[in-house]
C-alpha cells in the first residue's frame, strides 16, 4: 500500500505541512505508521480523510464536530459519502448566495438591497418567523379589523413558515420579506384597511357585510366559471344582482357602480397579488391567486361597462 510522508500528503491535499501536523496532533488525521526515525506516514485513505476535513472546514463545520464524525466513519465509502454531503452543502450555500446577489441586482439600489438580503438570508427558521409576525402586526397597526378574521388568516397556519426552505422557497422568502419591509407597501395596506374596516361601527354590521359579501362573491365566481363575459347582457345582470346583495337599499345603481369602481381602482396594488403568490410558493400550496385575480378583473370590467352604459350619477354620497 502506498505510503506518503507528511510533506507529500500536504502537497497532494493542497494544505501546508503545519496544517497536516495540526490535524494529526488533534487526532483528526492520525498517521497510519510512524517510522523508527519518527517520520509520519499516511495512506490513500488518509488522503481521503484530509479531503473530507478540508470540505467540512470550508463549509463551516467545527473541528470538534469533525473529530466526532471521523471517529464514527472509518471506511473509504463512508469518507466519500461524507465528502459528497459536504459538497452538496457547499453547493446549497453557493446557490443561496447566488439568489441573494441576483435579488440585489434586480433592485434600483443593489448595494443597499444586498446588505438587507444578506441579513435576511442569514436568519434561522425562528428568526424568519419573528420577522414575518412583526411585519404582519405592523400591517394592522391602527386598523380596526375584525379580530377573528386576523386570527384565522393573518395569524393562522398560512402564516407559519416552513422550518426548511428549498431554493425556490428561499428566493420567495427573500422577496416576501423585502416586500414586508417596504414602508410604502405597509402604509398603503394600512390606509386601505382603515378605510375598509372603519365603515363597520360594530361586530353586527361586520357580520352582516361578511354574509352579504360571501353571496356577492359566489355570484361572480359562478359567472367566471361559466365563462360569462363581464360586458355581456348576462354578465351585466350578474353584476347588478351582486351589487344588490351588498347594498339592497340603494336605488342609484349608477352611483353605486361608479363608487365601487373608484374604490377598486384606488385600492388595487399589484404588490398585494405578489404577496399572496410568494406566500403560496413558500407554503408549497396550489395557487389560488390566479383564480382570485380573475374574479377581481371580471368584476372591474363589469363595473366599467355598467358605468359607461348608465347616465352620469348624481353627486351625492352613496348610501351603504
Domain boundaries, the chain: 4-91, 92-120, 123-198, 201-320
Per-residue pLDDT reduced to its tens digit, 273-296: 899 999 999 998 887 777 888 888
What contacts 24+ positions apart, CB below 8 Å, involve 165-170?
165/282, 167/92, 167/95, 167/96, 167/99, 168/281, 169/281, 169/282, 169/284, 170/96, 170/99, 170/121
Can you tell me whether residue 242 is helix, strand or coil? Answer: helix
Higher pLDDT residue, 301 or 90?
301
Sorting pLDDT into bands at 50, 70 and 90, what band is 23?
Answer: very high
Average pLDDT over residues 50-77: 73
Give the separation between CA 279 and CA 284, rounded to whole angstroms: 8
Instruction: Estimate to the nearest angstrom the gap between the alpha carbon of 250 and the chain centroid.
Output: 42
Q: What is the pLDDT of residue 137?
A: 92
Q: Which of 52-66, 135-149, 305-319 has the highest mean pLDDT?
A: 135-149
Q: What is the pLDDT of residue 113?
A: 58
Q: Which of 32-36, 79-83, 122-126 has the highest mean pLDDT?
A: 32-36
Q: Which CATH class is domain 4-91?
A: mainly alpha
Q: What is the pLDDT of residue 257?
A: 87
Look-up of cell digits 357580520: 207
Q: How far is CA 166 from CA 32, 117, 170, 265, 302, in A?
A: 41, 17, 6, 36, 41
Query: Could you tell me if 53 and 38 are in contact, meaning their C-beta atoms sit under 8 angstroms apart?
Result: no
Higher pLDDT residue, 311 or 135?
135
Q: What is the pLDDT of residue 304?
A: 92
Amino acid at each position: 500500500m502506498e505510503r506518503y510522508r507528511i510533506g507529500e500528503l500536504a502537497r497532494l491535499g493542497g494544505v501546508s505541512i503545519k496544517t497536516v501536523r495540526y490535524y494529526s496532533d488533534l487526532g483528526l488525521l492520525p498517521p497510519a505508521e510512524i517510522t523508527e526515525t519518527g517520520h509520519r506516514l499516511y495512506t490513500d485513505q488518509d488522503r481521503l480523510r484530509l479531503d473530507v476535513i478540508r470540505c467540512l472546514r470550508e463549509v463551516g463545520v467545527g473541528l470538534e464536530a469533525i473529530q466526532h464524525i471521523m471517529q464514527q466513519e472509518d471506511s473509504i465509502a463512508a469518507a466519500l459519502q461524507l465528502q459528497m454531503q459536504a459538497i452538496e452543502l457547499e453547493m446549497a450555500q453557493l446557490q443561496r448566495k447566488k439568489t441573494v446577489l441576483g435579488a440585489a441586482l434586480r433592485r434600483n439600489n443593489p448595494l443597499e438591497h444586498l446588505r438587507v438580503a444578506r441579513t435576511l438570508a442569514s436568519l434561522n427558521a425562528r428568526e424568519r418567523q419573528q420577522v414575518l409576525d412583526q411585519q404582519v402586526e405592523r400591517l394592522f397597526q391602527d386598523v380596526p379589523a375584525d379580530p377573528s378574521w386576523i386570527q384565522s388568516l393573518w395569524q393562522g397556519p398560512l402564516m407559519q413558515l416552513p422550518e426548511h426552505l428549498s431554493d425556490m422557497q428561499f428566493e420567495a422568502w427573500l422577496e416576501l420579506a423585502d416586500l414586508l419591509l417596504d414602508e410604502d407597501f405597509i402604509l398603503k395596506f394600512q390606509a386601505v384597511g382603515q378605510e375598509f374596516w372603519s365603515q363597520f361601527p360594530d361586530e353586527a354590521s361586520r357580520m352582516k357585510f361578511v354574509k352579504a359579501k360571501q353571496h356577492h362573491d359566489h355570484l361572480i365566481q359562478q359567472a367566471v366559471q361559466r365563462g360569462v363575459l363581464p360586458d355581456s347582457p348576462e354578465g351585466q345582470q350578474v353584476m347588478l344582482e351582486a351589487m344588490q346583495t351588498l347594498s339592497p337599499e340603494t336605488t342609484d345603481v349608477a352611483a353605486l357602480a361608479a363608487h365601487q369602481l373608484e374604490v377598486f381602482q384606488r385600492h388595487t396594488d399589484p404588490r398585494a397579488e405578489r404577496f399572496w403568490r410568494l406566500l403560496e410558493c413558500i407554503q408549497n400550496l396550489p395557487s389560488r391567486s390566479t383564480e382570485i385575480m380573475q374574479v377581481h378583473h371580471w368584476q372591474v370590467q363589469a363595473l366599467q361597462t355598467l358605468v359607461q352604459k348608465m347616465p352620469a350619477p348624481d353627486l351625492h354620497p352613496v348610501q351603504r
